[in-house]
Amino acid sequence: ASESDIFIRRQPRGSALGTAATDVLAGGATSSWQIADPQPVWLDHGAGGHIWDVDGNEYVDLHGGYGAGIAGHAHPAIVAAVTEQVSRGTHFAQPTEDALWVARSLAQRYDLPLWRFANSGTEATMDAVHLMRAVTGRDMIIKVEGCYHGHHDSVQVSVSPDLDEAGPAHRPESVPSSTGIPTAITELTRIVGFNDLDAVRRILDENPGQVAGMIVEPVMMNAGIITPEPGYLAGLRDTLHSAGALLTFDEVKTGFTAGPGGATARFGVRPDIICLAKSLGGGLSTAAIGGTSDVMSAIADGIYEQVGTFNGNPLAMAAARANVYQVLDDSAYRHLADLAAHASAAITDVIAAHGLAWHVKSVGAKGCVIFSPTPVTDYREFLQLDDRWGQLHWLIQHNGGVFLPPWGKVEQWLLSVAHTHADVDRLVTNFERLAVIAEE
Ligand code: PLP
């Protein structure tokens, strides 16, 4: 690679802020995953599909705030809704009418009747795990190796395990993914590979009457993009139900991005519980948990108290209502599908023209390049991918004015309703520079 590919865009003010921040922000950022290589990017503002850093560099924003940005930045409908609500009060800890409208939309999109709100994906999946335990009276849960569900104790297990400790692929060990997680909690989370239904059956057979349920990303999206094999999701639901256990889809990443009704509608398998966050709030922090009448009666009857001072707060609900009714309509999804098809086809052409053994994976508004010729079906295969191409890709896109999520192969790009075909062209043009280097 030439020096211009490697050299990061000049960010003197950003670098100065980064240095000053270490005095008062632990590690110099507001969340540990903002400190991604090669350097944190300090942003100033966004408009539509674009963002500007504090040094005035402009980028096409395909990072989308880790997948929350399907509405783009400062969408007029969301600005109007939030502006009106700000002047009428931002917090009451009592429901406002917007919450009712958002819940109605979620019930219709995701085919589950009853909903509650929370403030982050972590809170939603924590409620889901609690709820599965409360409804079944059991403690053990099943989780997929490599799936990320946020940072509470029960799911911070085998997110990115050290394979020396992770045991064989057909019988993975439960490995804590963070310090601070008690062993006793880790042991209650049993691990299976994605697309491995037999492993779920085995755990249920070996632990009769002990498994409350399983939490899974219906499309794995913290390992590039790994799609479920035909029959896998329905098989999970039926297998779990036959053992009296529940199924939770963590749709924090797939919700609204895989389609109007997320992966649930896309794959036609209705779980017992769905978790939403990220792209629900039109850029504001909110989350939702939906369930069947049977499951949610545990909340309605006070068996499980699902609580939070800012749950369903008026500002987030105003933004979410505008997002689900005014922004994410049929024409928005047609536009997203056009852009996604453009990106996939053009990048696939570049890969072919340069004779590279890579492919594009895309689900709805999200996509990524898999630096391998064959589809990846589980986390262990994903770990085999050479990440140097992913890292160089990030750098070349960054220097070429496209902001992707960090870490090369782990995350995806997210198209927003505000992006244009010219934005996709910029992604493709930059990608071609990577292809030229790879071909050499
Ligand atoms: N679930 C999935 C699938 C996620 O990707 C994430 C975050 O990346 C979470 C849950 C946690 O969401 P949050 O960061 O809002 O707590």
pLDDT in tens, 171-213: 999 999 999 999 999 999 999 999 999 999 999 999 999 999 9
Q: Which of 61, 98, 127, 278 is catalytic?
A: 278
Supply the pLDDT for residue 386: 87
Greater confidence (8 vs 359) lies with: 359
Same domain, 236 and 299: yes
Q: Sort residue 107 into left (φ over 0), alpha (ψ -120 to 50) or beta.
A: alpha
H helices within 165-271, ranges in order? 183-186, 197-206, 232-242, 262-267
Same domain, 82 and 229: yes
Whether residue 286 is contained in a domain is answered as yes
Which residues does 297 contact at the CB level (< 8 Å), separation at least 6? 303
Q: Which of 53, 127, 153, 250 is catalytic?
A: 250
Same domain, 51 and 121: no
Same domain, 230 and 275: yes
| Ligand 1 centroid to residue 121 C-alpha, Å | 5
Residue 417 pLDDT exceeds 70: yes
Beta strands across the sheet bearing 58-61 = 43-47, 50-53, 58-61, 402-403
Supply the pLDDT for residue 440: 87
Supply the pLDDT for residue 39: 67
| DSSP reduced 3-state for 363 | strand
Over range 410-414, report the average pLDDT: 93
The complex scores an ipTM of 0.99
Supply the pLDDT for residue 407: 74
Q: What percent of the chain has pLDDT over 70?
A: 97
| Ligand 1 centroid to residue 205 C-alpha, Å | 30
pTM of the complete model = 0.97
Same domain, 214 and 230: yes
Q: Is 250 labeled as catalytic in the residue annotation?
A: yes
Atom 7 (ligand 1) nearest CA? 150
Same domain, 316 and 340: no
Q: How far is CA 375 from the centre of its chain?
A: 20
CB 392 within 8 A of CB 1: yes
Whether residue 251 is contained in a domain is answered as yes
| Ligand 1 centroid to residue 13 C-alpha, Å | 30
Same domain, 269 and 231: yes
- Say if residue 38 is preceded by a cis peptide, omega within 30 of 0: yes
Which residues pair with residue 116 across a beta bridge?
Answer: 289
| Ligand 1 mutation target, pool 152, 217, 253, most atoms within 8 A of CB | 253
pLDDT band for position 4 (50/70/90)? low
Atom 5 (ligand 1) nearest CA? 253
Q: Which domain range does residue 250 map to?
A: 77-327
pLDDT in tens, 263-310: 999 999 999 999 999 999 999 999 999 999 999 999 999 999 999 999
Same domain, 182 and 303: yes
Ligand 1: nearest atom to the Cα of 285: 15
Whether residue 246 is contained in a domain is answered as yes
Residue 436 pLDDT exceeds 80: yes
Atom 1 (ligand 1) nearest CA? 149
Whether residue 118 is contained in a domain is answered as yes
Supply the pLDDT for residue 29: 87
Residue 389 pLDDT exceeds 60: yes
* Run of H or E residues at 372: none
CB 63 within 8 A of CB 410: no
Whether residue 242 is contained in a domain is answered as yes
pLDDT band for position 410 (50/70/90)? confident
Over range 350-359, report the average pLDDT: 97
pLDDT in tens, 208-241: 999 999 999 999 999 999 999 999 999 999 999 9
| Ligand 1 centroid to residue 118 C-alpha, Å | 13
CB 246 within 8 A of CB 272: yes
Supply the pLDDT for residue 308: 98
Supply the pLDDT for residue 37: 56
Domain termination residue (choose one: 280, 311, 327): 327
Which of 187, 190, 186 lies closest to 245, judged by CA?
190
Domain termination residue (choose one: 327, 356, 378): 327
Whether residue 400 is contained in a domain is answered as yes
Q: Which of 66, 148, 232, 379 is catalytic?
A: 148
CATH number at residue 387: 3.90.1150.10
Do β-strands 140-144 and 189-192 pair in parallel, antiparallel, or remain unpaired? parallel
CATH number at residue 173: 3.40.640.10
pLDDT band for position 6 (50/70/90)? low
Same domain, 165 and 244: yes
Residue 88 pLDDT exceeds 80: yes
Same domain, 226 and 347: no
Copy the structure tokens of residue 383: 């770990």
Helix 388-399 × helix 421-439 angle, to 10° = 130
Exposure letters 23-58 (e unless 16+ CB within 10 A, then b): eeeeebbeeeeebbeeebbbbeebebbbbebbbebe
Residue 2 pLDDT exceeds 80: no
Distance (Å, rounded) from C-alpha 73 to C-alpha 89? 23
DSSP 281: G
Same domain, 258 and 132: yes
Residue 3 pLDDT exceeds 60: no
| Ligand 1 centroid to residue 149 C-alpha, Å | 5
pLDDT in tens, 21-40: 999 999 888 888 886 656 67
Domain total in the chain: 2
Whether residue 1 is contained in a domain is answered as no
Distance (Å, rounded) from C-alpha 66 to C-alpha 59? 15
| Ligand 1 centroid to residue 78 C-alpha, Å | 22
Q: CB within 6 Å of ligand 1 — which residues?
A: 66, 120-122, 125, 148-150, 217, 222, 250, 252-253, 277
pLDDT in tens, 294-351: 999 999 999 999 999 999 999 999 999 999 999 999 999 999 999 999 999 999 999 9
pLDDT in tens, 237-255: 999 999 999 999 999 999 9
Domain termination residue (choose one: 269, 294, 327): 327
Supply the pLDDT for residue 60: 98
DSSP 73: B
Q: Could you write out the DSSP letters of every residue in 23-81? A: TTSGGGSSSGGGS-SS----EEEEEBTEEEETT--EEEE-SHHHHT-TT-BS-HHHHHH
Whether residue 2 is contained in a domain is answered as no
Rg (CA), the chain: 21
Atom 12 (ligand 1) nearest CA? 121
Ligand 1: nearest atom to the Cα of 120: 15
Same domain, 142 and 251: yes
Out of 38-42, 47-51, 153-157, 431-435, pick the least confident.
38-42
Ligand 1: nearest atom to the Cα of 277: 15
